[in-house]
Structure 1
Amino acid sequence: MRKRLMTTIAAGALGGALVLTGCSTGGDQDQATPSSTSQHQGHGSTSSSDSGGEMEHPMDGGPAPADIEKAASPKYPVGTEVTLTADHMEGMDGAKATIVGAFDTYTYAVNFTPTTGGEPVEDHKWVVQEEIKDAGPERLPDGTEVTLEAEHMEGMKGAKATIASSTDQTVYMVDYESDGMTMTNHKWVVESEIQPAS
């Protein structure tokens, strides 16, 4: 049965952006700056070459897609304090976070070339079914070529992408703080990238 999402929008909108670059073999090696930007290397890339092209990632991720539904019985309900184990961005692994949305859908890691130019981004985690143009209700197989509607970072919306992998784990939107910066409505982390707050 197709899973669907819901959204819970966290209060508060913050200015500023994170500047993100593509993936690299070295993993995520972000460098925070005194301003509200940081350099972002890829999302678990297995590429042997560094990617270029910087992309901005807003500190407030905004609402989840309008047509999504709440997870029926998430392991971590909205409001739960957790610890992140994802390393999508510098300072994320081990960060304390608050669940602001729990969703049931198919979630994808994708390879794409930003519409703004630059090197391809590999294994970007994550985009959800509702952020893929004309995705339909069924899980998309690995290797499927798609068009992204997600706007997680500059150059993503409208980009051509290929599905690298997928999961049907519950997926979450979170607020977390790292290096003195607060990220709100961060999209996305899947259940295996979360553990109970210690």
Structure 2
Amino acid sequence: MSNKMMLGIISFAAALTLAACGGENTNETTQNETTQEETNEITDHNMDNTGTNDNEAKEGMDHSNMNHSGSGEVPEGLQVAENPTFPVGSNAIIQSDHMPGMKGAEATIVGAYDTTVYTVSYTPTTGGAPVTNHKWVIHEELADAGEAPLEPGTEVTINADHMEGMQGATATIDSAEETTVYMVNFTSTTGEKVTNHKWVTEGELSAK
């Protein structure tokens, strides 16, 4: 075999090797791009239109600034319940989740009152995002409220400080219910001791 023929074979083999390497690099690049696209797609699915992660606390659902414990004082004119389902001194299980660790906690009843209870929406006087469907504000905690019950859509001024920025805020009534409300002591399932918590409705308690 001549030197020219041998050189030609070697050159051809080298060309094949380079082509194969180039193909592998191209495939690897394409695979990396696909993986990145899939990652971006997954991330986008966890974001809403404003770029906020869906797992973040929703507007109006954050009770981190709630005053879990209270003084035990009640508004003037609040009617003590004569024959409540859960008498003062009895125990009950909380079925509501107004705050982390509340649902499932055992509560001791320290007060029972007959009133109209409202869910309200308002913008805190301290600024920040609006609070929607806050549970609960009772009729006696509204300034110059007049006769109960108030209709949904009624604007009122809150005279309670369950949460930071609530006192003096202008609120809109979302719903109204005539029921018995309870002030309770409990230790949350996360270990926090809460005293004189306002309010839990009768429907949010179950027998121990």
Q: Tell whether the structures are fold-level matches, with TM greater than 0.5.
A: yes
Residue 88 (str. 1) matches residue 106 (str. 2): no
Residue 66 of structure 2 is matched in structure 1 by 57
Within 1, Cα distance between the matches of 2:112 and 2:76?
14
TM-score by length of 1: 0.72
Change (3 A) 1:52 1:168: closer
Where does the alignment leave 5 or more consecutive residues of structure 2 unmatched? 1-53
Residue 206 of structure 2 is matched in structure 1 by 195
**Superposition deviation, residue 66 in structure 1:** 2.9
**Superposition deviation, residue 117 in structure 1:** 0.3
Structure showing greater radius of gyration is 2
> Whose helix fraction is larger, Structure 1's or Structure 2's?
2
RMSD: 2.2
Change (3 A) 1:95 1:158: same
Is the 2:63–2:98 Cα contact (8 Å) retained in structure 1?
no
Letter in 2 for 1:194: L
Within 2, Cα distance between the matches of 1:133 and 1:66?
12
1:104 to 110, 114, 135: 114
Alignment of 1:1-198 (within 5 A): 50-51=59-60, 56-62=65-71, 63-178=73-188, 179-197=190-208
Runs of 4+ in structure 1 off by over 2 angstroms are: 49-60
Greater displacement, 102-111 / 54-63: 54-63
**Superposition deviation, residue 95 in structure 1:** 0.6
In the alignment of these two chains, the number of paired residues is 153
**Superposition deviation, residue 181 in structure 1:** 1.3
Is the 2:59–2:130 Cα contact (8 Å) retained in structure 1?
no
Letter in 1 for 2:202: E
TM-score by length of 2: 0.68
Higher relative contact order (CA 8 A, sep 6+): 1
Where does the alignment leave 5 or more consecutive residues of structure 1 unmatched? 1-25, 30-40, 42-48
The share of aligned pairs that are identical, in percent, is 48
Within 2, Cα distance between the matches of 1:55 and 1:136?
31
Superposed CA deviations along residues 56-113 of structure 1, whole A, max 9, x for unmatched, are 3334211121321211210001011000001111111111101110000100000010
